[in-house]
Structure 1
């Protein structure tokens, strides 16, 4: 098929009814009627094919000769791990046909990027940025001289894989690999020099043993139940190791001693992990280290040996109290993520000044004085900050949000932590700042109990996601009175013009979002929970034109919603989804 041709037809996954009909045609009604349980078991097999026509046809033919429930149960059990392993013949028949899309990919680097996606668990969505940074750490995008160019290339590759139907889009920020496509990727990896060991999301309780580890280049045992890593793995060629989302408590000091080529290490989401082994300092090739969502209390001084480190993720390490004089020794560091880290950012600011290649920074500020110190400290740090979390701020009752206007790459902003701030100023004297948060896409307001409105978000014209939760005093999102104070914004019809998701939860005083109807041209989902006084939406019949909007909430609340007119009610009535 030629790309971008008008007569190309994208074959979508079949809905359950049609999928079963196709499967039944291939397996034969005689087989399905051999035992009363087989028909029900066949439905489970169809579910594992996830609507992919080629899988339904090929596996249907393979199951035509299976006449007992035991055979069907075994098929379902192993299908959940790998299509090829339960039906070797199926792999030979089906995968080469699917592999045509893989063979047509631009070059070997793109093919390696595709195969890399199979390291993630079946049926799990993958965050684009997380994936791209792993590609960078592995050297798959090394031809690009700077991080920004490499990230752009990564997004281009993801787009290419989506266009080739090898990945599926999951909103703007995540992707997913179809189960059968993932099986094909693992089959290709098994046939090639890129040896993988993948046991992700299969309920492992112990670390894998008795394997020829010297051949393995990439290993993933993420999303399991492993508690202890007590056996040394001799993996001389290993480049990526995914250990995230387990129950790790103990990693012996010598565990990393024989992984000289390791470039990507993910230990994230191990909430029982309180300390790192000192042997981690032996990973002299390491470029990417993800420790987010762990309970580590300190970083070992041995990390100083990681001279090649380019990516360090310490987000949500809420028990982290000690970072010795380490950060400045990572002279090649490009990405430093510290949002939600318990360690005070002000203590590492001076070290950051030595990070000449720092391109991405996420960070938490806990006071006005700390924020002011950081913003005045180093201009180049301001040019790296992509996410800011403002927590606590007990030293002030007001905040000039436009002080953050100079953070040009700022993508995400959070205000939380039981703030005493009563007023977020949008001073008309700073009218030049109108629309100043051009890069801001996500805003989160949690536990800001003294705030009555959130009108300052009008300065984020490209906002896509707005989440507000547990703000006991919040009465409205956009105050018309405050809007009128900024002359440039009077009569602004572009409010929320890019908004896709609006989530409001536990706002007992919330009465209005905005008093006038808006078009919301991009809005996909509104979720309203525990907002008993919110009876009106800024919607009218024009807001509904050509739209497929989902409105989630409690059924009792939905019945009391007051609509602008009957046509608006009729337009949005089918949008409701009980939560």
Structure 2
């Protein structure tokens, strides 16, 4: 329609939704029993602010005059929404218009897939895209990078047409009513009732377990401890377990899954490989991230078709030659969990570090990830199809092994550098696909440099084909416990940096030092959204000059007592800033160029 401006029509607030719902129910019904007004509020909340659902359900409840009728209706709305009057023949068909107008079957399949998760479930964009890749939805691309980019494109498109919702930093979820519609589309509308099953009940009945035989995709968050029924999953392609308290599986649980491709046990309480997992010979995607799994035993070596192995968490030991036997492996990720934990930004000592120091078991048939892990790099280098690696590099010898392998450098996506003993200057090599970099506990490190040999003479990344820069894909940098590091001036050459965390660098006085020799149009921190500074006792400056920060959303400063001035002016972070976090004492001690700038940013202080 060539409109000059598009406005997103948000869902109603809770009060607005309740008022509209009660209006459609009518005063006669609301006054027919003293319990009904409260039940009406409960029913209205089930609509999650969606006007179409509020109007439809409100009208359907207008002739229900007893609390029992209302309670039964609310239960049906929660359990079988498609059976509720007006939903399957009015609400869902209207919402289906957005689905029908999606441009291709791949986007439609990716949309329906998110419905496997329970109501209000939020998921990281990266985790969702990896699941789509593991499912084979994005197989039509020449490289995993192209598939990953397409995954991001699909997420953005589904948010644009309001089928997905943005839910925090790099997370999405599905509106409850949209999810109900997706389940209706995936199962009942197509006549395949149990293709997607979501089991969240406390106690499983025999009839529920019998449905698992028909399921293609199953999400389980229920307890399995008392399950004694013989299990069979002849059609199961995907199993996602969402019970964080689940530590073990019933005997034989994995014995009959003849066609399973995707197994996601992330965020569960498991501490060792489940018995029988080696029988899943058709498995292509396996996720143990954010668990307490400590050891990867030889049983995993039987999974010859495995392509995607995600182990981000507490893994410490991998039996030798397990990885080398996974000949089809394309993606290997084992980022340490506790570096991702917020509590490590405000503490210099962690329980995990103490556990690491006390860990005494040794086995010459195992690789210890907290030590020199050159052997793991050698096994990964020998895999023909590997093209995505995320892992910690421990020690100078392992780092040198990485530098000597162009194959591993090309595959590296998330890199953690630990304990680079004896190294005062870190010269970063060209790592074309690197997305995140962590440098941790390098006691002698004073400076970090990048190789600008191919960048000389350029007028600025933005103006001159930024994708060709040496770190174009680098979005996140985290430096932690580097007591002698002086600054991070090298970051001015990172054009796509979105998140920066600096923690425990006692010698640092400036984040960005002397940048007088760089081009004016370099766009320093032009895409930075999240800047967090912790435990920097001598920090006095983030930048010597005010920066526009056109994308900055969050600035967090904790225990930086000498940082008295922020690199902000009246034009900084316009239309982007959400919050500035810091103690009241720190905020009150800040110095500003003028009162207008202080008044501009005071509302953002939290």
Note the alpha carbon deviations across 1:207-230, whole angstroms, 9 max, x for none: 9853232211000114x5656877
The answer to whether the Cα contact below 8 Å between 2:415 and 2:438 also exists between their aligned partners in 1 is yes
The answer to whether the Cα contact below 8 Å between 2:187 and 2:196 also exists between their aligned partners in 1 is no
Could you say if the C-alpha distance between residues 427 and 355 of structure 1 is closer, same or farther in structure 2, counting changes exceeding 3 Å? closer
Residue in 2 aligned with 1:406?
A: 430
The answer to whether the Cα contact below 8 Å between 1:249 and 1:272 also exists between their aligned partners in 2 is yes
Residue in 2 aligned with 1:158?
A: 155
Note the alpha carbon deviations across 1:165-194, whole angstroms, 9 max, x for none: 211234673322111101111122221337
Residue in 1 aligned with 2:220?
A: 221
Residue in 1 aligned with 2:326?
A: 330
Match of 1:370 among 398, 401, 419: 398
Matched, 1:396 2:422: yes
The answer to whether the Cα contact below 8 Å between 2:430 and 2:451 also exists between their aligned partners in 1 is no
TM value normalised by structure 2: 0.83
Residue in 2 aligned with 1:386?
A: 413
The answer to whether the Cα contact below 8 Å between 1:204 and 1:226 also exists between their aligned partners in 2 is no
Residue in 2 aligned with 1:321?
A: 317
The answer to whether the Cα contact below 8 Å between 1:83 and 1:90 also exists between their aligned partners in 2 is yes
- Return the offset for 1:93: 2.6
Match of 1:419 among 439, 442, 447: 442
Could you say if the C-alpha distance between residues 355 and 26 of structure 1 is closer, same or farther in structure 2, counting changes exceeding 3 Å? same
CA distance in 2, matches of 1:76, 1:62: 12
- Return the offset for 1:339: 2.1
Match of 1:180 among 157, 165, 177: 177
Residue in 2 aligned with 1:125?
A: 122
Stretches of structure 1 that go unaligned for 5 or more consecutive residues are none
CA distance in 1, matches of 2:587, 2:21: 41
Please identify, of 495-504 and 22-31, the stretch whose mean Cα deviation from structure 2 is larger: 22-31
Please identify, of 207-216 and 117-126, the stretch whose mean Cα deviation from structure 2 is larger: 207-216
CA distance in 1, matches of 2:525, 2:402: 30
Residue in 2 aligned with 1:247?
A: 245
Match of 1:448 among 459, 482, 498: 482
The answer to whether the Cα contact below 8 Å between 1:228 and 1:248 also exists between their aligned partners in 2 is no
Could you say if the C-alpha distance between residues 36 and 391 of structure 1 is closer, same or farther in structure 2, counting changes exceeding 3 Å? farther
Could you say if the C-alpha distance between residues 288 and 471 of structure 1 is closer, same or farther in structure 2, counting changes exceeding 3 Å? same
Q: Secondary structure of 1:451's match?
A: coil
- Return the offset for 1:346: 1.4
Could you say if the C-alpha distance between residues 81 and 501 of structure 1 is closer, same or farther in structure 2, counting changes exceeding 3 Å? farther
CA distance in 1, matches of 2:102, 2:94: 14
Could you say if the C-alpha distance between residues 513 and 187 of structure 1 is closer, same or farther in structure 2, counting changes exceeding 3 Å? same
Q: Secondary structure of 1:561's match?
A: coil
Match of 1:282 among 259, 272, 279: 279
Could you say if the C-alpha distance between residues 565 and 507 of structure 1 is closer, same or farther in structure 2, counting changes exceeding 3 Å? same
Match of 2:375 among 347, 350, 359: 347
- Return the offset for 1:121: 2.7
Alignment root-mean-square deviation, CA: 3.2
Could you say if the C-alpha distance between residues 81 and 452 of structure 1 is closer, same or farther in structure 2, counting changes exceeding 3 Å? farther
- Return the offset for 1:24: 2.8
- Return the offset for 1:206: 6.6
CA distance in 2, matches of 1:50, 1:283: 40
The answer to whether the Cα contact below 8 Å between 1:204 and 1:225 also exists between their aligned partners in 2 is yes
CA distance in 2, matches of 1:76, 1:558: 49
Q: Secondary structure of 1:312's match?
A: strand
Note the alpha carbon deviations across 1:477-526, whole angstroms, 9 max, x for none: 2223xx45xx4x27676221111111223434433222321110111122
Q: How do residues 88-237 of structure 1 correspond to structure 2 at under 5 angstroms? A: 88-170=85-167, 173-191=170-188, 192=190, 193=192, 195-199=194-198, 202=200, 204=202, 210-222=209-221, 232-237=230-235
Could you say if the C-alpha distance between residues 347 and 66 of structure 1 is closer, same or farther in structure 2, counting changes exceeding 3 Å? farther
- Return the offset for 1:475: 3.4
The answer to whether the Cα contact below 8 Å between 1:367 and 1:391 also exists between their aligned partners in 2 is yes
- Return the offset for 1:257: 1.5
Residue in 2 aligned with 1:543?
A: 572
The answer to whether the Cα contact below 8 Å between 1:465 and 1:499 also exists between their aligned partners in 2 is yes
Q: Secondary structure of 1:348's match?
A: helix
- Return the offset for 1:349: 2.0
The answer to whether the Cα contact below 8 Å between 1:228 and 1:249 also exists between their aligned partners in 2 is no
Q: How do residues 431-510 of structure 1 correspond to structure 2 at under 5 angstroms? A: 432=455, 436-480=470-514, 483=515, 487=517, 489=518, 494-510=523-539
CA distance in 2, matches of 1:374, 1:242: 34
CA distance in 1, matches of 2:576, 2:296: 50
Q: How do residues 301-312 of structure 1 correspond to structure 2 at under 5 angstroms? A: 301-312=298-309
Q: Size of the alignment, in residue pairs?
A: 560
The answer to whether the Cα contact below 8 Å between 1:287 and 1:311 also exists between their aligned partners in 2 is yes
Matched, 1:571 2:600: yes
Could you say if the C-alpha distance between residues 452 and 14 of structure 1 is closer, same or farther in structure 2, counting changes exceeding 3 Å? same
TM value normalised by structure 1: 0.87
CA distance in 2, matches of 1:35, 1:553: 51
Q: Secondary structure of 1:211's match?
A: helix
- Return the offset for 1:574: 2.2
Q: Secondary structure of 1:542's match?
A: coil
Matched, 1:295 2:292: yes
Could you say if the C-alpha distance between residues 431 and 304 of structure 1 is closer, same or farther in structure 2, counting changes exceeding 3 Å? closer
Could you say if the C-alpha distance between residues 153 and 454 of structure 1 is closer, same or farther in structure 2, counting changes exceeding 3 Å? closer
Could you say if the C-alpha distance between residues 268 and 211 of structure 1 is closer, same or farther in structure 2, counting changes exceeding 3 Å? same
- Return the offset for 1:411: 0.5
- Return the offset for 1:258: 1.0
Q: Secondary structure of 1:388's match?
A: strand
Q: Secondary structure of 2:319's match?
A: coil
Residue in 2 aligned with 1:261?
A: 259
The answer to whether the Cα contact below 8 Å between 2:551 and 2:577 also exists between their aligned partners in 1 is no
